[in-house]
Structure 1
Amino acid sequence: MSKPNYSGVFHMVEQDNMDAYLGALDINFALRKIVCLLKPTKDITHDPATGTMKIRTITTFKNFNMDFNIGEEFTEDLQAVDGRTCQTTVNWDGNNLVCVQRGEKEGRGWTHWLEGDKLHLEMRVQGVVAKQVFKKAD
């Protein structure tokens, strides 16, 4: 069964519990407040045939790029986020993309899924869950 193609540009339309999630990552108070005000755009290029994916998270403050092959572990440089690196693997769970980030923080990772023109993102670390919803650009 074929997997969905996540390619597209998505603009954030809602966010929940981001401050607590960033706090669990030990992000300082001032930076947490800035990040919580940002309205990121996700620019995703996905080739379902090869399993390669590029996720560009674009904000007015900082951009973050993540390039990977689904199912292959890689060293992820999260210096722009929280100054850490971790061993990351993204796999399919049904039609959802599930990321596990092994490193200093327990239970770190995220899940992406599509519902119509919405891209959902659930981020997890140490039992804290934050959610973002993005709407596909026309």
Structure 2
Amino acid sequence: MNDLNTSETPGWPFWVYALLVFGLLTLIISLSYFLGQRHQDRATAQPYESGILETGSARLRFSAQFYLVAMMFVIFDIEVVFIVLWALAFKELGWPGYLGICVFIGLLFAVLIYEWSVGALDFGPDGKKILKAYRHLPLKKPVI
């Protein structure tokens, strides 16, 4: 006979916990209903505005630079996860793991230099071009 029979585990703690959770949910929702504010403003029924008057169209054009930055953030964020996991298993991986992460970080650095060189990290107008155009503008003397 097996003394460690799991079918005889009492289920009452689960039901007590479930009853407490549903009781707490009922209390919170009831208090919110009775004590909460009720108002009907002009913008309350409009979708996606949450009671704030709309200020314009939601159809705005964004530069592709924003999407490039978002993709680079996701890529480098995932790579940070790999580096942290390597750091957690540092002793088990030894020198081969160290050499592998050095190659990995070297590739990350090479990709960052490449993105920088092709202008993926440049935002706004080029400062040198602005200064060059400013020097060629005819300056007017103020009339006193």
Q: Which range, TM-score by smaller chain?
A: under 0.3
From the two aligned structures, give the one with the greater helix fraction.
Answer: 2
Per the normalisation by structure 1, the TM-score is 0.19
From the two aligned structures, give the one with the greater strand fraction.
Answer: 1
The structure number with the bigger radius of gyration is 2
Greater relative CO, 1 or 2 (CA 8 Å, sep 6+):
1
